[in-house]
Structure 1
Amino acid sequence: MKRFALLATMAMAVTPPAWAAPEDPIAAVDAQEERTTRVAKQLWDWAELGYLELRSTNLLQSELRSEGFTITEGVAGIPTAFVAEWGQGGPVIGVLAEYDALPGISQSTSATREIMDDKPAGHACGHNLFAAGSLTAAIAIKNWLEATGTPGRIRLYGTPAEEGGSGKVYMARAGLFDDVDVALHWHAADRNSAAARTSLANRSAKFRFKGISAHAAGAPERGRSALDGVEAMNMMVNMMREHTSMDTRIHYVVTKGGAAPNVIPDFAESFYYVRHSDADEVRTLWNRLEDTARGAAIGTGTEVEWEIIHGNNPLLVNETLAKVMDAKLRQVGGVTYTPEEREWAAQISKSLGEGAKPLDSAEAIQPYGKSLGYGSTDVGDVSWATPTVGVRTATWVPGTSAHSWQAVAASGHSIGAKGAQVAAKALTLMAIELYSRPDLRSAARAEFDASRGEDYVYRSLLGDRDPPLDYRK
């Protein structure tokens, strides 16, 4: 039985498309290259932070309206979130778009380190490319539906604040993906891959300690240091690390610790992340983290409270879809540099040190397989609401790490736009396959239902809190 199921799944990945489009979908995406490049560069220039992406979301909505999409703005209580839709009936295919930048990582498109003083934020995770590529794909899919008269709807989901704001989680919690047959997404990367890659569940919070201020030399006995509370918690968490499983990741920063050494601080704050491949284990670890905060407060004579900032479930892999996406990516091919781009990429590569990889690998498609990614994404919550599949493309110079200045530079360069075009083509071909093949949709849904289990009930790691619209202010 397992052998039959494997053969059936492989057949889905190699069966020729059942549709006969009046135009070449890849050529249709090529025709939109100017739009992809223009939108990607504009979003890169703005580099707006999570939940503050007003100009970015307005630009995307304007482009979609001009193509006949109907826009629903401000969904899930988030001003910069939206849903754009074209078509009627079903099936419904959703394409995700992200567009928030990261703070504190400014960089020009120079191949050497060059901070831009007027731009404190940067697209170090390529979300400007994510949005532009998804926009192009959604429009190409809409044009194919219209030209062929194929029934169905295409939606583009404008999803803000992926970087620590969990925009998609609030959208999933609001049920915005419940009637979607399949959700498609992609991400900037240093390689081309459609591997079945899962991620870590994640929860974060700011822990705020309150003490009593006093003169640190003249009356120390009257004070209770809030910073002592933060440091005591950090010490206990660092001791806790040894007694956690291998997939556990715990990170923190001290965001506020006082202003002067001779004033005992009456307020201090730390920001914690807890990650694990299993969402329930994150919940267990989180209970232990809260205990360290309580213990630190008791031991230092301070008070503590905390605010959950974001939380994501892990990506639920759908191999039925991933194998077909892999075939589509191979049909498209990778990223080919011009001589000028290759020269620029070679300079970037020198800055990567031992992490550098051959430039020609940007043209290759990585072998298909299953893997665990140690990052986290709010796409995870979408993947528990509907069958979801993604792809990564070589928008960055091979060997580039996300959240680096090299990633910012490439995300604003023509190399980045080329990678976005590759993604748009793969997403378009995948959507056409899904519209044309009810058997594929059914198989994906069957795997999805089996993976979730009969008794599955969606639980957000955010609880019932409202979106933290000011978390980047």
Structure 2
Amino acid sequence: MWKLAEVGFREEKSSARLQADLKAAGFRIDKGVDGMPTAFIATAGSGGPVIALLAEYDALPGLSQAAVPEQQAVPGSAAGHACGHNLLGAASVSAAIALKEWLAKSGTPGTVRLYGTPAEEGGFAKAFLARDGLFRDVDVALSWHPSDRNSASQGQMLSVINGKFHFTGVPSHAAAAPERGRSALDGVEVMNVAVNYLREHVPQEARIHYTITNGGDQPNIVPANAESFYYARHYDPAVTLDIWDRIKNAAQGAALATGTKVSVELIGGSYGTLPNYTLGKIADRYLRQTGGFSYSAQETAYAQKITASLPQGGRESGGPETVADFVEGSRTPASSDVGDVSWVTPTLQISTATWVPGTPPHSWQAASASGTSIGVKGALLAAETLALTGAELFRSPEEIAAAKAEFDKARGPNYHYRAMVGDQKPALDYTRK
């Protein structure tokens, strides 16, 4: 999975590999679900509660990295697993297979379902699956994410919305006839300036970030087309949507100022996670029972080099040997489309130390560790913890009932889930250049 490193909605080989392992283990496979060719659902067992596991497998563009402690791209590869989704998908599949085998051997009634969800890094596949009711009969969802620490703490993540702004101008010779041109790149840059001034006037917890995905062809042509790619985030989805409207206003103002036109392509969005402490406490118990892990001499030497490459030399606390204290009510300034799942069914998310302590996600150091034995050890710990948690839930309907009661109380009596992605179809080509 790490070597394949395919970006969102293009994970053909990665998705096929996971499906092959599940089919060989006796799962029934539904391919290309909900209009997404690399999405799938694998089901085993029958009757009883339905417990879902979530698998991701998309890589990040521009972060190709060899499994070495120095920054070094893999020849011929443009993407890398800098968020560890190779480990995430493999461990979730392993946990699903373990649960399927346990159900059969123990004679316990129950259904285990593995959701293969592409394009977490911007395409928000889970939000479309949640919107279209594919989690409707799920009793509990179990998930995990690579990290630099072992933790079953449950907290809130940021809601997020993203999209591309397409500016259209008038081409002309930039030296001989600049007055006849209207620069689409000027529109992008004026918009960026306006949004950067906007930052002073949004809540402190908000996040706005962008990249210019098309700046024109060459300097002597007034750019007729240009494009920027924006994200907006906040813990409150209503605030996120308000910020997004203000970003769109900045784009319209920039178009007016530069004599260009602009259109907005909404790609997707997701809610922040709704924590479920009932599930978190069960997983915490098994994470501690399974225990952390230690580095070999070779892994220690690798980790020391990675630590030396990190800003401020990494972080001293935490690490693979320990399990962090269980915390309720924490906030994480990141986003995941697991958030939408958590608003339609009780959802667990844990983390394990697949990376060297202090490693930030979306870094070459994370991509490197995700291809090493350190990453595999962390993924195995996650798979074992999820499988043990799932087995207890299958045996204990009262715990599922308690998780559902907490879920219903947290959402409130009149809550109705409405996806931030609206009624649009998945943006299957959002990673295009």
Please give the range of the TM-score, normalised by the shorter of the 2 chains: over 0.9
1:130 CA drift (Å): 0.5
2:21 is aligned to 63
Instruction: Decide which of 84, 88, 91 is 2:49's aligned counterpart.
Output: 91
Instruction: Decide which of 394, 399, 410 is 2:353's aligned counterpart.
Output: 394
2:120 is aligned to 162
Cα distance in 1 for partners of 2:243, 2:69 equals 42
Instruction: Decide which of 74, 93, 102 is 1:144's aligned counterpart.
Output: 102
* TM-score when normalising by structure 1: 0.89
Counterpart secondary structure, 1:233: helix
Note if 1:171 corresponds to 2:129: yes
Instruction: Decide which of 216, 227, 231 is 1:273's aligned counterpart.
Output: 231
Assess if the C-alpha contact under 8 Å between 1:346 and 1:359 holds in 2: no
Note if 1:100 corresponds to 2:58: yes
1:384 is aligned to 343
Instruction: Decide which of 414, 419, 426 is 1:455's aligned counterpart.
Output: 414
Cα distance in 1 for partners of 2:313, 2:206 equals 24
Cα distance in 2 for partners of 1:386, 1:355 equals 40
Q: Letter of the 1:308 partner, please give it.
A: L
Q: Letter of the 1:253 partner, please give it.
A: T
Say which structure is richer in helix.
1
The CA deviation string for residues 352-371 of structure 1, in whole angstroms up to 9 with x for no partner, is: 14142349721100111131
1:218 CA drift (Å): 2.3
The CA deviation string for residues 104-153 of structure 1, in whole angstroms up to 9 with x for no partner, is: 11111112222222111111000000011111111111111111111110
Q: Letter of the 1:463 partner, please give it.
A: G
1:466 CA drift (Å): 1.0
Cα distance in 2 for partners of 1:166, 1:361 equals 30
2:377 is aligned to 418
1:198 is aligned to 156
2:168 is aligned to 210
Assess if the C-alpha contact under 8 Å between 2:276 and 2:348 holds in 1: yes
The CA deviation string for residues 158-188 of structure 1, in whole angstroms up to 9 with x for no partner, is: 0111111111111111211111000000011
1:344 CA drift (Å): 1.7
Counterpart secondary structure, 2:51: strand
1:256 CA drift (Å): 1.2
Instruction: Decide which of 289, 296, 312 is 1:331's aligned counterpart.
Output: 289
Note if 1:185 corresponds to 2:143: yes
1:113 is aligned to 71
1:313 is aligned to 271
Q: Letter of the 1:138 partner, please give it.
A: A
Greater CA deviation, 223-232 or 88-97?
223-232
Structure 1: where are the runs of 5+ without partners? 1-42
The CA deviation string for residues 66-85 of structure 1, in whole angstroms up to 9 with x for no partner, is: 11110111111111101101
Note if 1:373 corresponds to 2:332: yes
**CA shift in 2, pair 1:119/1:204, >3 Å:** same
Note if 1:75 corresponds to 2:27: no
1:280 CA drift (Å): 1.0
Q: Letter of the 1:392 partner, please give it.
A: S
Greater CA deviation, 87-96 or 318-327?
318-327
2:187 is aligned to 229
1:341 is aligned to 299
Note if 1:253 corresponds to 2:207: no
Q: Letter of the 2:241 partner, please give it.
A: R
Instruction: Decide which of 392, 407, 428 is 2:387's aligned counterpart.
Output: 428
Q: Letter of the 2:409 partner, please give it.
A: A
Cα distance in 1 for partners of 2:8, 2:366 equals 18
The CA deviation string for residues 391-427 of structure 1, in whole angstroms up to 9 with x for no partner, is: 1000111111111111111111011110011001110
- C-alpha RMSD of matched pairs (Å): 1.3
Q: Letter of the 1:391 partner, please give it.
A: I
Assess if the C-alpha contact under 8 Å between 1:277 and 1:314 holds in 2: yes
Note if 1:243 corresponds to 2:201: yes
Cα distance in 2 for partners of 1:356, 1:240 equals 32
Cα distance in 1 for partners of 2:173, 2:231 equals 33
- Matched residues, number: 431
**CA shift in 2, pair 1:205/1:353, >3 Å:** closer
Give the % identical residues: 52
* TM-score when normalising by structure 2: 0.97
Cα distance in 2 for partners of 1:321, 1:107 equals 35
Cα distance in 1 for partners of 2:319, 2:161 equals 35
Greater CA deviation, 94-103 or 334-343?
334-343
Cα distance in 2 for partners of 1:225, 1:65 equals 53
The CA deviation string for residues 312-336 of structure 1, in whole angstroms up to 9 with x for no partner, is: 1100111111122111111111122
Q: Letter of the 1:205 partner, please give it.
A: G
Greater CA deviation, 370-379 or 344-353?
344-353
1:47 is aligned to 5
